[in-house]
């Protein structure tokens, strides 16, 4: 299970859970002969319904800053390149959540002074800095509702500019 969620958890939680996952793995191994349930982990797998793709590399320092800003509910300053051909632009964002779509992680955020949530592809964030300024959250915003209403789909027209 750790391979499915570790990239979405803050580093501090990943470190804590890593020990728990290892302990669980050792426990399952130690009872393998006495308990048939310990074999379950070898009888299930998760596979993507699409062609396998490698996730894009996101700079670890960017992930750390974004996660810390999300947890602290603070604005974050980023340098972002919308496409490889575009010049990088600076943005001050109110981070609202992270969404994993296949191998791609998106930051859902509003620009400072705006209400409309946008998506920012994490691997296109070149640099991120914590601002230590409290974020402004759109009234009634729900990450689950944003996703269920198609907020991370390109057809929704909500990707960043």
The whole-number pLDDT of residue 155 equals 34
Structural domain boundaries in the chain: 2-42, 60-156
The whole-number pLDDT of residue 43 equals 67
Contact 109, 93 (CB under 8 A): yes
The whole-number pLDDT of residue 65 equals 96
pLDDT tens for the chain, 161 residues long, are: 455 566 566 666 677 777 877 887 778 778 877 877 776 666 666 666 667 677 788 999 999 999 999 999 999 999 999 998 999 999 999 999 999 887 889 999 999 999 999 999 999 999 999 999 999 999 999 999 999 999 888 534 445 55
Three-point CA angle 116, 89, 133, nearest 5°: 60
pLDDT digits (tens, 9 = 90+) for 86-100: 999 999 999 999 998
161/154 Cα distance (integer angstroms): 12
111/91 Cα distance (integer angstroms): 7
99 vs 21, 32, 58, 87, 115, CA distance in Å?
23, 36, 14, 25, 19
The whole-number pLDDT of residue 9 equals 66
pLDDT digits (tens, 9 = 90+) for 38-55: 766 666 666 666 676 777
46/31 Cα distance (integer angstroms): 24
The whole-number pLDDT of residue 35 equals 79
Domain 60-156 grouped into CATH 3.40.50: no
The whole-number pLDDT of residue 2 equals 54
Tell me if residue 101 falls in helix, strand or coil.
Answer: strand
The whole-number pLDDT of residue 98 equals 93
Phi and psi, residue 95, nearest 5°: -70, 130
Q: Which residue has the tokens 């789909």?
A: 153
Q: What is the DSSP letter of 159?
A: B
Tell me if residue 151 falls in helix, strand or coil.
Answer: coil
Tell me if residue 47 falls in helix, strand or coil.
Answer: coil
């Amino acid at each position: 299970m750790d391979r499915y969620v570790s990239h979405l958890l803050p580093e501090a939680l990943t470190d804590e859970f890593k020990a728990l996952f290892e302990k669980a793995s050792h426990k399952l191994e130690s009872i393998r002969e006495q308990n048939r349930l310990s074999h379950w982990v070898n009888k299930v797998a998760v596979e993507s319904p699409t062609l396998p793709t490698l996730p894009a590399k996101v700079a670890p320092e960017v992930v750390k800053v974004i996660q810390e800003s999300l947890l602290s509910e603070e604005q974050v300053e980023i340098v972002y390149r919308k496409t490889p051909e575009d010049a990088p632009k600076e943005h001050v964002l109110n981070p609202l959540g992270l969404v994993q779509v296949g191998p791609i992680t998106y930051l859902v955020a509003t620009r400072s002074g705006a209400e409309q949530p946008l998506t920012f592809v994490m691997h296109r964030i070149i640099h991120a800095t914590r601002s230590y300024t409290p974020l402004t959250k759109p009234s009634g915003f729900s990450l689950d509702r944003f996703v269920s209403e198609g907020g991370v789909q390109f057809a929704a027209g909500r990707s960043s500019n």
